[in-house]
Chains A and B, each alone.
Chain A
């Protein structure tokens, strides 16, 4: 299995509801990032959380990180139809020297559908 696995694979909610997506990973990390991809288009960076941070907010986004459980969650509050997209977590793994391998490893993503 891959570093960075999201669940659920798909999530369907109504406008105004909150959406929570989870990500698990396997190795020590420098940071964890969340990206959004609209159908077949390029990924867009949403938020980054460093390994020494536990929670971060950006607008309607809230990210948590639990390094002891090697997991993260992304909460989108008061969702809108325009939030419909695939959401990916990506990890910057820490190498033996404690620095970056120089790449982000992406999970398989969660497909979020928000119904108007």
Chain B
């Protein structure tokens, strides 16, 4: 058990809908990262937050947004969903901000867009 909690584990929805994925980092970790894993794209970095502030951004679509709350949990919002958004979405956490060392991953949310 990594200590990172992601909910829900599975999500099935229709095109055009909006969903929210939730992540609770390990106790004491201030950084949260979101990754998308698909067969064709592999593991893609989406976004990083550190203590409530956005720190790094990857290839995150404009239809996607994220935030980190004062209690350090994070949410990834995906809107106007398309079939191609079907993927495994991982949250990871770490203590540090500037140096990215040893991420702890949650077990992921499997999103299926039908």
Q: Known: A42-B90, A44-B2. Contact between A105 and B101, CB under 8 A?
A: no
Contacting chain A: which of B12-20, B62-70, B105-113? B105-113
Interface residues of B in 45-100 (CB under 8 A from A): 45, 48, 50, 55-56, 58, 88, 90, 92, 97-100
How many A-B pairs have beta carbons closer than 8 Å: the answer is 71
- Give Cα A41 to B106, complex, Å: 8
Contacting chain B: which of A16-24, A76-84, A96-104? A96-104
User: Within 8 Å CB of A42, what residues of B?
Assistant: 2, 4, 90, 105-108
User: Within 8 Å CB of B106, what residues of A?
Assistant: 42
- Give Cα A10 to B75, complex, Å: 34
Judge whether A106 and B42 touch: CB under 8 Å.
Answer: yes
Judge whether A103 and B58 touch: CB under 8 Å.
Answer: yes
Q: Known: A41-B108, A102-B55, A103-B58. Contact between A108 and B103, CB under 8 A?
A: no
Judge whether A104 and B108 touch: CB under 8 Å.
Answer: no
- Give Cα A43 to B90, complex, Å: 9
The 3 closest A-B pairs by CB, nearest first: A102-B56, A42-B105, A106-B43
Judge whether B45 and A105 touch: CB under 8 Å.
Answer: yes
Q: Choose among B43, B48, B90, B98 the residue with the greatest number of A CB atoms under 10 Å from its CB.
A: B43
A31 at the A/B interface (Cβ < 8 Å)?
yes
Judge whether B58 and A100 touch: CB under 8 Å.
Answer: no
- Give Cα A106 to B58, complex, Å: 12
User: Within 8 Å CB of B88, what residues of A?
Assistant: 40
Judge whether B98 and A92 touch: CB under 8 Å.
Answer: no
Provide the A25-64 mask, 1 if CB < 8 A to any CB of B, else 0: 0000011010100001111110010000000000000000
Q: Known: A45-B103, A106-B42. Contact between A99 and B90, CB under 8 A?
A: no
- Give Cα A99 to B101, complex, Å: 13
- Give Cα A48 to B99, complex, Å: 12
User: Within 8 Å CB of A99, what residues of B?
Assistant: 98-99
Q: Known: A42-B90, A103-B48. Contact between A30 and B102, CB under 8 A?
A: no
- Give Cα A36 to B48, complex, Å: 21
**Chain A min CB distance to B62 (Å):** 19
- Give Cα A31 to B94, complex, Å: 15
